[in-house]
Amino acid sequence: MQSSILSSWPVDPAYIIIGLAALTLILLIAVIICIMNTRKLYRNYDYFMRGRDAETLEDIIMEQIEEIKNLKSEDKANKEAIRSLNRNQRASYQKFGLVKYNAFKGMGGTLSFALALLDYTNSGFVINSVHSREGCYLYVKPVDRGQTETLLGNEEKEALEQALGYREAKMN
């Protein structure tokens, strides 16, 4: 009598062989699916690397890098221009006050005026134009940080206070 290892098992060896054959078939199908997915992935990768119209990805990346460099240089130039504009804006006259008045009662009308022009630091000047029958007289008084060394008339003070924001302009 021949003794075999398979004969000592409680399960028929034919079932084991059928089970292994089924497992092998399932694994073969899984391998075929993996190979198909790999080929599809490779085709997508190849299309991606070749790009559109036979452009390579490297060319596209280099173009993007060059464009970024150009944008950075434009950004730097724009920031410098903005700084320059801010410096110029602070030095320009940006606050004003205007008071029209009749310098000589009964003569003419409200042709005389006091005009205050100030910059960012409240420095500038006050112009007073006095209109009479004999002519028009202009007086300029400097303003430094909102103060004057020269005595101001009522209209000049009012124009300066308007420019400083202490008083609202009156509509005549």
> Would you state the pLDDT for residue 71?
97
88 found inside a domain? no
Could you give the CA distance from residue 153 to residue 39 in angstroms, rounded to a whole number?
Answer: 93
119 found inside a domain? yes
pLDDT along the chain (172 residues), means of 10: 68 87 97 97 82 69 93 96 90 89 76 90 92 86 89 90 80 56
20 found inside a domain? no
156 found inside a domain? yes
In degrees, rounded to 5, the angle at the alpha carbon of residue 24 between the alpha carbons of residues 20 and 30 is: 145
Domain tally, the chain: 1
134 found inside a domain? yes
Q: Which of 159, 95, 164, 155 is nearest to 130 (CA)?
A: 155
> Would you state the pLDDT for residue 1?
45
> Would you state the pLDDT for residue 61?
83
Contact 98, 162 (CB under 8 A): yes
33 found inside a domain? no
152 found inside a domain? yes
31 found inside a domain? no
Instruction: Provide the domain limits for residue 108.
Output: 95-164
Give the three-class secondary structure for 135: coil
